[in-house]
Amino acid sequence: MVDAIVEQIIPTDEWMGAKDAGVTNFIDKQLVTHLSRFQNKYREGLYSLAITCHELYHKKFHELSWNDQTEFLKKIENGSLNELTSIHGKYEGGRIWNGRDDRSFFRLIRDHTMAGFYGSPRHGGNHKYVSYRMIGMDYPVVQGRNKHV
């Protein structure tokens, strides 16, 4: 699911997108180290997203067409799913998101996608320096830190 979400945020065109650039790997690595404080937000947000997607489309997120994925993420980004009541009566009164803000989850995963795509490859994303090459930037030289480049 995360692969499909990050690919929606930074899609493949003439350059590899977030999925192929290893952004999911970056997020995964960071959630067990520097960003461990966000583990529960990811668990709850992805769970809520999966349930909501199933309620609206009867499919898993990665099974949706590209356009349906885009529209679904737009709804999350603008916060229109936070108070969703189940169409089928299983979930009532926003229990899917259970008081969590769908917009804040989208912002979180979007920000981490950007960090993984544009950050240093040594953190697990930006495979083959794709974002540096895309914007025409050489690998940034930082005194004392570029021993292995």
Per-residue pLDDT tens digits of the chain, which is 149 residues long: 999 999 999 999 999 999 999 999 999 999 999 999 999 999 999 998 998 898 889 999 999 999 999 999 998 898 887 655 545 545 443 456 766 678 899 999 999 999 999 988 888 888 888 898 888 887 666 556 555 55
Query: What pTM, to 2 d.p., does this model score?
Result: 0.82
| Assigned domain for 75 exists | yes
Give the whole-angstrom CA distance, residue 20 versus residue 27: 13
Q: Domain range for residue 58?
A: 2-9+17-134
| Assigned domain for 33 exists | yes
* Contacts by residues 2-6 (CB-CB < 8 Å, ≥ 24 positions apart): 2/27, 2/28, 2/46, 2/109, 3/62, 4/61, 4/62, 4/69, 5/61, 5/73, 5/109, 5/113, 6/109, 6/113, 6/116
Number of domains the chain is built from: 1
| Assigned domain for 144 exists | no
| Assigned domain for 120 exists | yes
Name the burial class of residue 43, with classes exposed (0-12), middle (13-18) and buried (19+) by CB atoms within 10 angstroms of its CB. exposed
